Copies of this chain bind each other. A is one copy, B any other.
Amino acid sequence: MTSTDRPVSARTTRQRRAVSAALVDITGFCSAQEIHEIVKRRGDAVGLSTVYRTLQAMADADEVDVLRTDEGEALYRRCSSGHHHHLVCRDCGRTVEVEGPTVERWADRVAADHGFADVSHTLEIFGRCESCG
């Protein structure tokens, strides 16, 4: 077994292109169902299941970011590669990607101080942007 078993396939289909295209249109985080709506509104017919599957695949491939509402709903948004966090307007959803090397180091150090290994973290900032002021 020299090759790591690839669970993937990544077959290019009309539906996947439609979801990707819809993601380009949005600026903030959207739920799977909202994205399904957007796809429909663009004139592409894609089943809801497929939207869910596609978004999940993209999330696995780090092509979209996922975050959770207070109510537990998953929100998606296309993202730049690499580790980053988000500054999200809680009114209009406008999102700014931010980086914080200081924070990364702080988190790793805190974890190490307590004997924790294999460290990861989640960090999101919420506020109201100027246009929504």
Contact = CB atoms under 8 A, between A and B. Distances in A.
A75 to B, nearest CB: 11
A111 B123 contact: no
B110 A98 contact: yes
A111 to B, nearest CB: 5
Copies of this chain present in the complex amount to 2
Contact of A103 (B72, B103, B133): B103
Contacts of A124: 121-122
Interface residues of A, number: 33
A74 interface: yes
The majority secondary structure among interface residues of chain A is: strand
A96 interface: yes
Given A103-B103, A122-B122, A114 B128 contact: no
A87 B111 CA distance: 7
Contacts of A110: 87, 98, 100, 125
Interface string A97-133: 0101011001100110011111111111111111001
Contacts of A123: 107, 121-123
